Each structure stands twice: as C-alpha cells, then as structure tokens.
Amino acid sequence: MKSMIRAATLNDAEAMTRLHVAAWRETYAELVPKSYLEALDATIRVEQRRALLLRRDIVSAVVERNGSIAGFALGGPCRSSDPSCPRELYAIYLLRAFQRRGCGLALVRFVATRFVEQGCDRFIVWVLRDNHSARRFYEQLGGTLIREMSIDIGGAQLVEVAYGLSARALVASTPADAG
C-alpha cells in the first residue's frame, strides 16, 4: 500500500511522540549515551506535542501507511531568529523500516510548500555532525553548511551542524513518488 502525506492532527500527537522516541533510539544508539535514550519517556511529551500542534505558526506533516504513522516532520519559525533563514525544520523522523523510499523527501516538500505559502524561502535544519545518513539526505536536497555548535545530550558533548535550504527550490523539484 502506498504512503499518504498529510498535516498532523491533535489525534496524531500520541503516535508521533511514540515514534519520535523509537526513532531516537534507532538513530542515535551509537551517538547519544544509552542511559539518556533509555530514559526517554513518550508519555510525558504528549501534552507538549499537542500544544505544538495547536500553534498556528507550526507546520506539521505525517506519513501514514496502512492506518498508522510511519514518520513525521515539524517546522516553524527559526528558533535563532536568523533573518537569512526565517524558517526551521525542527524535526524529521521515519522509522527505519520506512526509510529510503522517498518519504523523507515527500515530508520535507510538504513542509517547504507551507513555508513558501507563508512567503518564506530559506530554512535551516540542525543535525548531529555524526549523523552521516541524515547529512547525505540534506545535502541531496541542496542543503549547504552554514553553522556549527556544540550541544550537551545526556552529559555527552556533541556537535551539531546546520544546513540552509531553499523551500522554493524543493517545491519546484519533481515530486517524489513515496512508496
């Protein structure tokens, strides 16, 4: 069955939060302290997620497959108030089983379309420097490295890098056939 990309609703908050925790554990097993990943608790983040989804300036997208959520993306105003990049892709996560089928590209294009409708082009996305597969993904989408900062996650000093991307270029690109 094909995947469907749509905006998230409040009813998706719980599934999105569970998926977020599961994807963190899959993605960051080698990068983030085990104790931090084990302590992540989806239940305590559901209300935060609902509050986020209620905000008018937040853009959301989910991949629905066979009635369940296989991935999501969230974006909105740039958290560092950078005038050269007014928007930010805050998070994009797909369960491993659904990666490399074009769903990530479809999610980003969905969010980018909303950014363009809001009159914005440039957006930023932060990614762990050692998350090589996500970095290849952003580079494939035309992202260029613009910034770097250190970050503490569970007591580990890690480095995040930021890519700048063009929402208009993504919207103009050939639509992906997410399978």
Question: Where along the sequence are the contacts to ligand COA (CB under 6 A)?
Answer: 23, 27, 92-94, 99-105, 127, 131, 133-134, 136-137, 140
Q: Say if residues 151 and 178 touch (Cβ distance below 8 Å).
A: no
Smallest gap from residue 90 Cβ to ligand COA (A): 9
Backbone angles phi, psi at 85, to 5 degrees: -135, 85
| Smaller CB separation from ligand COA, 79 or 100 | 100
Q: Say if residues 164 and 85 touch (Cβ distance below 8 Å).
A: yes
Smallest gap from residue 153 Cβ to ligand COA (A): 13
Instruction: Tell the burial category of 129 from Cβ atoms under 10 Å away from its Cβ (0-12, 13-18, 19+).
Output: middle
| Smaller CB separation from ligand COA, 5 or 13 | 5
Smallest gap from residue 4 Cβ to ligand COA (A): 14
Closest CA to 105 of 60, 137, 142: 137
Smallest gap from residue 39 Cβ to ligand COA (A): 19
| Smaller CB separation from ligand COA, 6 or 54 | 6
| Smaller CB separation from ligand COA, 110 or 119 | 110
Q: Which residues pair with 59 in a beta bridge?
A: 75
| Smaller CB separation from ligand COA, 54 or 140 | 140
Smallest gap from residue 71 Cβ to ligand COA (A): 6
Q: How far apart are CA 126 and CA 175, in angstroms?
A: 24
Q: How far apart are CA 23 and CA 125, in angstroms?
A: 17
